[in-house]
A and B are shown apart, each in its own frame.
Chain A
């Protein structure tokens, strides 16, 4: 069992898939000679050359569309977005083309492509560089959306994403790239659409994903000291949603808190809450609470930012409130 950084796990996944299949290539800003803005693609140019590790101009709308067109004729592009914030200039390509082409052509053309990069607040980057954008991608049928918290999940799910015949939005986090974790030495894949219990518990279910998984685990330890045994369910895949894992856990604990980085309005947290109450109403002993960003754009200063994003303290408070009922 090797201990890998999150970025190394992503690199291992891409490297193995590129060795396995010549149609897989990596394209994006600074991915080749600069070796990635966050060094995810370090050494890959050296191994695969300019044909398969391709630097682009700063033209997300163009190169995301290029990737989609290449995927339509059988290549398997991995398009790196320096951050998902920059994907907004390519939103048309991802939503109106990638997500719809398989359907619009009645299954004639498929679009096996991965768009990947970091999402969420890495700290002190202000409003345009700190958004968690899972919700606005998960909204659209035709896309699969993955958002990973650990090196092991990053590795196993990125491999599945690359092999998937559909467009996959793959979200990482700047704050996690140096995180270390164990990853098996043998090759493995983690299926898309399966949540994972990161901490088993009996008193309430905390449902979360990406970097908030770590805050939730910390909150669960703090709650344990108070006698509250929280289960932490890491969705890992946002679309398709692992409803079964969510419902089973909530039916066991009878209480749920959804922790979502990102704006609360029409967010994934709202979707998860709605589905729980639709399916598990009789099992619930308390209203479902959400812990999200405050409903304002991200500020820069540390104290302001800490007020806006979900913190361990706010998660603990929400869990206490749910358990007090």
Chain B
């Protein structure tokens, strides 16, 4: 038996190759620009609807963090599995769930992703290989390890990616999930969206270490941190991590430093922010930087964006109207979802 402490502190820090080397096309950039803009527009509509009491309960908006969800889903294949926490509208749309299905779910309507059963925090859809959102902070992280375990068990080449916040990086379930993924060398990407606040508690007030990717050190997991404001950075870093995991090398933990423009939820006015903090982060806005890339690298002009903006306004307005027109959920079907039917 090997003496204790002899296990290699494998891989450690930094991407396996230079992220700048990951190619990006004009089509990709344009698609990401549209998706980030759509997510933001839908979230703005949700905020308005919430104020009008058309959306009830908790409503956690993703505005400001769109680059992370869009970069991550772009870095994965459609057959890969995605798990996230309660701030899940952006991930759902980035994964292909329609704005109508998201808005209808928020309004508690029949055409919602889960027909008005899951609500804001639970937008799972197997069709999209999207486990959905989970409301117990950190409790969703082991689910991704299970999907990664199944991938290795069946040798099907899929990767599981789990989003979690800086707050979730304190939970026991999260630490246990890291260990299991490392021990079994599973194709899992742990993606921390560090948005500086665990609800209303700032990063340095809730964590001794403020580089959340360092959580991987204790289990010998490859880890690195990157700025998550630019979708290009998000895509490149997450692509390298997903490729690494897919190659059978084992899991990766990443930290995307990001920022949410709104409060923790609709009921939070976010008075805990420092003065000027929000404005300073807005200078790194992901939609604006993506637009800059398209102008600088691909010769697009202001009029092109006006056109896109008009288009997105129209489609999201249609989605909103469709959601509002959707009937209430069918009460008769409610009891069908407690247990899956047993084959007889």
**Partner of A104 from B117, B126, B177, B336 at Cβ < 8 Å:** B117
Cβ of B340 and Cβ of A67 under 8 Å apart? Answer: no
**Partner of B146 from A65, A103, A142 at Cβ < 8 Å:** A65
Interface string of A41-66 (1 = CB under 8 A from B): 00000000001001011010111111
**Partner of A56 from B115, B141, B150, B180 at Cβ < 8 Å:** B180
Task: Chain B residues near A51: list those with CB within 8 A.
Answer: 153
Cβ of B142 and Cβ of A93 under 8 Å apart? Answer: yes
Q: Is A75 an interface residue (CB 8 A)?
A: yes
Interface size class of B (residues with CB under 8 A): 35 or more
Within 8 A of B (CB), among A82-127: 89, 92-93, 96-97, 101-110, 112
Task: Chain A residues near B132: list those with CB within 8 A.
Answer: 104-105, 109
Q: Is B21 an interface residue (CB 8 A)?
A: no
Task: Chain A residues near B184: list those with CB within 8 A.
Answer: 54
Task: Chain B residues near A64: list those with CB within 8 A.
Answer: 142
Task: Chain A residues near B179: list those with CB within 8 A.
Answer: 57, 59, 62
Q: Which residue of B lies closest to A193 (CB)?
A: B342
Q: Say yes or no: A102-B340 contact (C-beta < 8 A), given A61-B172, A64-B142, A97-B134.
A: yes
Q: Is A264 an interface residue (CB 8 A)?
A: no
Q: Is B265 an interface residue (CB 8 A)?
A: no
Task: Chain A residues near B13: list those with CB within 8 A.
Answer: none
Cβ of A65 and Cβ of B183 under 8 Å apart? Answer: no
Task: Chain A residues near B118: list those with CB within 8 A.
Answer: 104-106
Expressed in whole angstroms, the minimum distance between the Cβ of A288 and any Cβ of chain B is: 28
Measured in the bound complex, the distance between the Cα atoms of B151 and A244 in whole Å is 43
Q: Which residue of B lies closest to A73 (CB)?
A: B150
**Partner of B115 from A61, A89, A93, A106 at Cβ < 8 Å:** A106
Q: Which residue of A lies closest to B186 (CB)?
A: A66
Interface string of A151-165 (1 = CB under 8 A from B): 000000000000111
Interface string of B109-132 (1 = CB under 8 A from A): 000011101100010111100011
Which of A67, A75, A108 lies at the interface centre, i.e. has the most chain B CB atoms within 10 A of its CB?
A108
Q: Which residue of A lies closest to B334 (CB)?
A: A103
Task: Chain A residues near B172: list those with CB within 8 A.
Answer: 61, 89
Measured in the bound complex, the distance between the Cα atoms of B336 and A141 in whole Å is 12
Cβ of B173 and Cβ of A69 under 8 Å apart? Answer: no
Expressed in whole angstroms, the minimum distance between the Cβ of A66 and any Cβ of chain B is: 4
Q: Is A190 an interface residue (CB 8 A)?
A: no
Q: Is B81 an interface residue (CB 8 A)?
A: yes
Cβ of B342 and Cβ of A165 under 8 Å apart? Answer: yes
Measured in the bound complex, the distance between the Cα atoms of B139 and A66 in whole Å is 11
Task: Chain A residues near B183: list those with CB within 8 A.
Answer: 57
Expressed in whole angstroms, the minimum distance between the Cβ of A166 and any Cβ of chain B is: 5
Measured in the bound complex, the distance between the Cα atoms of B99 and A95 in whole Å is 30
**Partner of B145 from A66, A106, A107 at Cβ < 8 Å:** A66
Measured in the bound complex, the distance between the Cα atoms of B335 and A142 in whole Å is 11
Expressed in whole angstroms, the minimum distance between the Cβ of B127 and any Cβ of chain A is: 7
Q: Is A297 an interface residue (CB 8 A)?
A: no
Task: Chain B residues near A54: list those with CB within 8 A.
Answer: 184
Cβ of B143 and Cβ of A68 under 8 Å apart? Answer: yes
Q: Which residue of A lies closest to B129 (CB)?
A: A73
Expressed in whole angstroms, the minimum distance between the Cβ of B306 and any Cβ of chain A is: 38
Q: Say yes or no: A25-B153 contact (C-beta < 8 A), given A62-B142, A62-B176, A73-B147.
A: yes
Q: Is A287 an interface residue (CB 8 A)?
A: no
Q: Which residue of B lies closest to A51 (CB)?
A: B153
Expressed in whole angstroms, the minimum distance between the Cβ of B178 and any Cβ of chain A is: 9
Task: Chain A residues near B142: list those with CB within 8 A.
Answer: 61-66, 68-69, 93
Cβ of B342 and Cβ of A164 under 8 Å apart? Answer: yes
Q: Which residue of A lies closest to B118 (CB)?
A: A104
Task: Chain B residues near A61: list those with CB within 8 A.
Answer: 142, 172-173, 176
Task: Chain A residues near B117: list those with CB within 8 A.
Answer: 103-104, 106
Q: Is A71 an interface residue (CB 8 A)?
A: yes
Q: Which residue of A lies closest to B142 (CB)?
A: A65
Q: Is A72 an interface residue (CB 8 A)?
A: yes
Expressed in whole angstroms, the minimum distance between the Cβ of A20 and any Cβ of chain B is: 14
Measured in the bound complex, the distance between the Cα atoms of B173 and A62 in whole Å is 6
Expressed in whole angstroms, the minimum distance between the Cβ of B223 and any Cβ of chain A is: 18
**Partner of A69 from B125, B144, B341 at Cβ < 8 Å:** B144
Task: Chain B residues near A74: list those with CB within 8 A.
Answer: 150
Task: Chain B residues near A59: list those with CB within 8 A.
Answer: 176, 179-180
**Partner of B180 from A57, A73, A142, A165 at Cβ < 8 Å:** A57
Which of B126, B147, B176, B336 lies at the interface centre, i.e. has the most chain A CB atoms within 10 A of its CB?
B176
Identify 6 new A-B residue pairs, CB closer than 8 A, beyond the known A56-B180, A69-B149, A108-B125: A65-B145, A69-B145, A70-B153, A73-B151, A93-B173, A106-B113
Cross-chain pairs A/B with CB under 8 angstroms, 26 sampled:
A57-B179, A59-B179, A61-B176, A62-B142, A62-B176, A65-B142, A65-B173, A66-B145, A68-B143, A68-B146, A69-B149, A69-B150, A72-B143, A73-B147, A73-B150, A93-B139, A102-B339, A103-B117, A103-B337, A104-B114, A104-B117, A107-B337, A108-B124, A108-B125, A110-B340, A166-B340
Chain A interfacial positions (CB closer than 8 Å to B)? 25, 51, 54, 56-57, 59, 61-75, 77, 89, 92-93, 96-97, 101-110, 112, 141-142, 144, 163-166, 192
